[in-house]
Structures are given as C-alpha cells and as structure tokens.
Structure 1
C-alpha cells in the first residue's frame, strides 16, 4: 500500500463500451487485466463499482461479476464482501497458473479439460469420503445457485466455478483448492470460447445437461459413495471435453482451404 485509503477508487479509469461479437466477459477481463498490468490500476486500488463498469463497458451486471470472478481466480484482484474488488499486491499473487493468453485454440482448452479429468475425478471421490456437513451444504448451495442462474438465462460461469471449488474444499486437502489457482479462469472455459461457434439453443441444452450432471455428482457425494462420485465427475468432464471437441471440428471445417 502507498498510504491511500484501501477503499479509495483509482481515478481516471474510463473503459470504452464493448462491442459484439466479442465474448464480453473475456474481453472485459482482458481490458481490466491490461489496466492492472500497465500500472494504471495499482495494488490497493479499488476497481470501479459494478454500476460504473456496467455503464462504461455497456455490459450487464452478470458480465461484470463473471469478469471480476475471473480476475480473482487469476490472482489479479481481491474481493471484500460489501466493499468491492481491489487490485492484489503482485507479491501475493500465485506464481504458477495457466495464463488465459496461453489459450490460443480449442485444442488448448481440450488439453486443460484432460488435466481436469485426471484431478477432479479423484477430488470428487475424496469429497464423498471426507465431506462434513458444512462442506456438503456448500456443495448443495452451489448447485442450487447454478440452477437459478441457468433458469435466469445466464451463462452461470461464476456459479459453476463455485460448485467445483466447493468439491475441492470438501476433500479436506488444501492442495486441491490451490490447484484451482493454477487453472485460474480456465477452469470454466466457456467464458473464453467465441460464442458464435455454437447456436444459442445448443448452449442452452448444454447448460441443462450440466445441471443434471452437477445433481448426480452432488447426490453421490452426499450419499458418501466415492466410486459413484468419481464416475459422475468423469462423465461430467468427459461430456465437456466432447462438446469442445465438436466445436473444434466445426471451426476446422469453417477455415478456408
């Protein structure tokens, strides 16, 4: 800190409206991250309020919240309940993570999902074996929040991330949540994939399927059935991998000769 009040918002930050067809969440993350890395938003500065970001960037509250969640996962900001989001001290940021800038293709996304299958399948099994009532309640609440977001027509990225965080926390092994920091915002890749690659109806059907898959995972963990939890998580992530493989194939076909 440099002596300024930590609730003091940095002056002079004014973002131009975002224009479709860009992925609005990913683009807002990119712009805010650029402000932070360029030093125009310094450690301890408060990000503009939700209302200010909505007005400046011309996006919805959901886009703003998902962008802030992605920045938090990347270690660039810290959030304080009822106060706002603040730029994190670089010395406190994780040194090892997957940078969204590294994800240049859907094949990169597929490789990250393969990594997740290996780790999260076991995490689900351990969560079923070790969860206590508080951990189980967090998983159930996260699944319900995802359902509400989908019903509201949202992309539910933040709620999806919290569901997986809750499962990792339920393992009782502190290294599992730290693995999420390694993945950063790439844990939920749909926020970075160009939306025009998929029809809205297909995206809606996919989220409905994710809702069902979350329910099966949560039920197995609640019942303490480790094998079923591992199987349900593997099916969930395999379904996601197959979806992005289809999108990659569609993109390849659309490329000129």
Structure 2
C-alpha cells in the first residue's frame, strides 16, 4: 500500500447524528455510504476516533462498535495503533446482516434464535479450550457488567464484551468474526429501547442477567462443556422469552 494510505482523509465531514434508536447502525450506514460512493477509496484512512466522535456527536463506544461492524462487513481493515483503512473491494465479504434490517421486535427474536444455536456451542467449546488469559478476559467482562448494573447503567457495551470474551475463548477465530458480524445488534435492549419496561423491571432483568452470566462463567471456568451449553441456552432463551412478551403486549395495545 502506498504512502497515501497513511494520511487522514480530509475530504469528508459528517454532520452530527440525530438520536435514532441505534446510533451505531446509523454511523455504520453513513460511513459505508461514503465508502461505496468512492469518497473514501481503498487504502484511505478513516477519520480518527476523536474526529468521528466530534463530527457525528457520538461516544467513543459508538465509534468503536461502528468500526468493528465495518470490519466485519469487510469494508475496512484495522491496524493496531494506526487506525482503520478502507479495504480493497476484492477482499470484501458479500454476506452480512444489515443493521437497518433490525426494524421490529420480530427481527430481534429471529436474531436471538440464531444466537441460541451458535452461542450455546461456543460456550461448550470455551469450556473445553479455555486458557488462563481467556478466563481472565471473561472474568473482567463479567465484573465490568456488574459494575455498570450497580451504577444504574444499561450495560450494553459490557454485555457485548462478555459474549465476545466467550467467543474468543473458543480458540476458533471464526466465532469472534461472526460476533462482530452481528455487532451491536447482539444486545436487544439497545435496539428496542423505546419498548422496554419501566426502570424497575429493567433493573430486575439486569440482575437476572448478572446471575446468568455468573453461571455461564463458572461452568466455563470449571471445564464443564455440557453445563456451559445449558447455562448459555437458558440465558438466551430467557432473553428471547422476555422480548416475545414485550412483542405480545405491544400487539395487544395496538389492537386497542
């Protein structure tokens, strides 16, 4: 790649994002549009995190999740300590879940069904192949989730990191890549925020998630693949059932 690839691109300036249901999906859409329109060319470096935060008016977490989603799509490549660069079109994948497809609770339920199938097996493999480093990452992610819940936060980023840590523990590089393919769509309460219960109900739900995470982590740490699979399946099934109840309630309310 020539020297031009190392310099920031001066040619785009993003307007601040309005507050839609999912800021990450909107930022992904805008950056992908710049790439596909040719305003960002193969080898060009994306604006820095700070520049994207300033231009789009979003947090560092949103920027990082957007870049991870673009990388999963094959639109960008990242270099540690350098930045993200537009990928050559010949290296890009052609199959993806578009964040824009997540328009209803039914879409969320279908993604959770996909997760049940995949993450159940990932938990079992993690229990079989765990390493001290992998367990340390899982433990840190669980602790960060607990801290966020105790602080009254929605803990979306911390929840995502917990599942990423388990996928990484499989020692199969395709599992983490698939998780990035789903990106922030993985955690439904961010996608369907307008439909969630009252704060008290959400807090109770997050406390249950904390307990479910602890059971999953304990089974993986204990090298118990069957228990890890069962714990993950129960965790995701409970999430699916929760959103199914919300969907049913909305349907009843819509029917008058």
Report if TM-score (shorter chain) is over 0.5.
yes
Q: 1:68 and 2:71 equivalent?
A: no
Contact 2:6-2:45 within 8 A present in 1 as well: yes
Specify every segment of 5 or more residues in structure 1 that has no aligned partner in the other structure, as ranges: none
User: Residue 65 and residue 206 in structure 1: after superposition, are their counterparts in 2 closer, same or farther (change >3 A)?
Assistant: farther
Deviations 1:88-112 (A, max 9, x none): 3333333333222333422122112
User: Aligned residue for 2:196?
Assistant: 198
CA contact (8 A) 2:68 2:183 kept: no
Q: How many residues align?
A: 255
Contact 1:97–1:184 under 8 Å retained in 2: no
C-alpha displacement of 1:183: 3.8
The answer to which of 10-19 and 156-165 deviates more is 156-165
> Could you say what the CA RMSD is over the residues aligned between the two structures, in angstroms?
2.8
TM-score, with structure 2 as normaliser: 0.83
Provide closer, same or farther for how the CA distance between residues 206 and 18 of structure 1 changes in structure 2, counting only shifts above 3 A.
farther
Look up the match of 1:127: 126
SS at the partner of 1:6? helix
Name the CA distance, whole Å, in 1 between partners of 2:20 and 2:100. Answer: 19
1:124 touches 1:221 (CA, 8 Å); kept in 2?
A: yes
Q: Secondary structure at the match of 2:6?
A: coil
The TM-score normalised by the length of structure 1 is: 0.83
CA distance in 2, matches of 1:129, 1:74: 29
Q: Give the direction of change, closer, same or farther, for the CA distance of 1:63–1:102 in structure 2 (3 Å limit).
A: closer
- Unmatched segments (≥5 aa) in structure 2: none
Matched, 1:93 2:113: no
Hey, what's the Cα distance between the residues in 1 that align with 2:122 and 2:244?
24
Structure 2 partner of 1:58: 57
CA distance, structure 1, for counterparts of residue 66 and residue 74 of structure 2: 12
Q: How far does the alpha carbon of each residue in 1:6-37 deviate from its partner, in whole angstroms, 9 at most, with x for none? A: 33121221111222354322222222222222
The answer to which of 64-73 and 113-122 deviates more is 64-73
Counterparts of residues 236-255 of structure 1 (less than 5 Å): 236-255=235-254
Q: Are the structure 2 counterparts of residues 229 and 64 from structure 1 closer, same or farther at C-alpha, using a change threshold of 3 Å?
A: same
Alpha-carbon separation, structure 1, partners of 2:63 and 2:153: 12
